[in-house]
Amino acid sequence: MPLDFTAVDLEWVANQGAAICSVGAVRFRDGKPQEAFDVKVRPQTPYSQWEQWAIKKNHVTFEDVMFEPEWCDIYDDFLDFTGEDVLAFHNAKSADLPHLEKACDSYDLAYRPFDYLCTYSLSKLMFPNRQGKGKHTLSSMCKAQGIDWNASLYHTAAYDAQKCGELLVSLARLVNASTLQDISRGIAFRNVVSDKTIPTDMRSVIEAMPDATIEEWINALYETPANPGDKCRMCDQPLSSKARKQYRPAHCCTAPCWHRLEQQFEQQKKLLDQPPELIRPSYS
């Protein structure tokens, strides 16, 4: 499966009730934007309860939406557009998903579960040491990835949805992922081979043979076995002439040292075989 998904953004005028004022969605196929869904929504939340920061941020006035359909009127159209796609949001759990659920609850609509991926969480996972205010916001991450950015359109739903999708594609390319499912393993691989606490030769072997067994990794560390007098890679003591031949290819002097090396590789193998879970089911 290629990079197929639908990126979604919701904008709202308050943190309470059915406050969504616009919804944007962009369908991506093979990593490229295709059709868009861009609809203004009349919030159920009374105008007196609209929050000024939200009005300013979302570029919306009461006049903009007073004659627009309500959430209950467009929800089926939204579901038809997104279909069975994995949905991509930026800041899903603390922003879009709660508002989506509150809107459905307010109108007593059946909430259809879906699988989703959050580019905010993905950005934090891939760039944990990124510095600066708002370091993982949509605008900050898009600029960092060289994605065209128009500040005057920020927080308009269709624009943010498209940029969320472009960011997801860009991050997938960074880890050589050709599908959404490949991103997790790509991140795990990237983390292992860039971890400078792991000896350089171990990282090189893993990078060259990511799908090999632990035994194959160990055997690939050295071209020739150690000789008596060579230093053990684990304890730095010289190998005696009595060192078992089975440990010499890994330049280890004894079984405990060989097992320590094996355990080091086991830790990295576990990281590769159990990558972070990125695609999650929405709550219902």
Tokens matching residue 153: 């359109």
Largest CA distance in the chain: 89
Residues with Cβ < 8 Å from 4, sequence gap 6 or more?
28, 29, 30, 85, 86, 180
- Beta strands 87-89 and 20-29, pairing class: unpaired
Residues forming a β-bridge with 8: 25
| pLDDT tens for the chain, residues 1 to 284 | 589 999 999 999 999 889 999 999 999 999 999 999 999 999 999 999 999 998 888 888 999 999 999 999 999 999 999 999 999 999 999 999 999 999 999 999 999 999 999 999 999 999 988 877 789 999 999 999 999 999 999 999 999 999 999 999 999 999 999 999 999 999 999 999 999 999 999 999 999 999 999 999 999 999 999 999 999 999 999 999 888 888 999 999 999 999 999 999 999 999 999 999 999 998 64
d(CA 49, CA 219): 68
Domain ranges of the chain: 5-174, 191-273
d(CA 244, CA 229): 13
Burial 254-273 (b: 16+ CB within 10 A, else e): beebbeebbebbeebbebbe
Q: Given this model, what pLDDT does residue 134 score? A: 81
d(CA 104, CA 112): 10
Residue among 30, 42, 25 nearest 4 (CA): 30
d(CA 225, CA 188): 31
The domain 5-174 is placed in CATH, from the list 3.90.380.10, 3.30.420.10, 3.30.200.20, 3.40.50.1820, at 3.30.420.10
Indicate the SS3 state at residue 231. strand
